[in-house]
Amino acid sequence: MTVRALTQSVISTQDGVRIIIHTVPNAKETAIILEPDGNIMMRVHAPPVKGKANREIVKWLSKKLRRPSSQIRIVAGTRSNLKTVEIGGMDGKSFLEALGQKVEVSS
């Protein structure tokens, strides 16, 4: 498997991209924040009860990235504020660009 990290939180894999996010549930609105140090924080409107926040994360990312929700899954951290999310069929550069980040990747 080929793995290439664009930031410490965005890792391109052979099947797509894995992102590591720190979540803050019960926020006023759902939003994602790319911090200057390369970390990703996601404020989630839903409470962390019975998987509501996890479903909100998948739904929000699906809409923002224009990907079917079946291609977005939480692979680690379902009961933690630190989550690993896998997005199929998308590379790290495309992920960051979809969030409005200018990306320069050297070969």
Residue 48 has pLDDT above 60, yes or no: yes
Superfamily of domain 4-94, CATH level 4: YggU-like (3.30.1200.10)
The answer, yes or no, to whether residue 102 has pLDDT greater than 90, is: no
With cut-offs at 50, 70 and 90, classify the pLDDT of residue 107: very low
pLDDT at 92: 83
Q: How far is CA 47 from the centre of its chain?
A: 18
% pLDDT > 70, the chain: 87
Secondary structure in 3-state letters for the chain: CCCEEEECCEEECCCEEEEEEEEECCCCCCEEEECCCCCEEEECCCCCCCCHHHHHHHHHHHHHHCCCHHHEEEEECCCCCEEEEEEECCCHHHHHHHCCCCCCCCC
Q: Where are the domains of the chain?
A: 4-94
Tell me the per-residue pLDDT of 53-93, one tens digit each, with 9 for 90 and over.
999 999 999 998 999 999 999 999 999 999 999 999 888 88
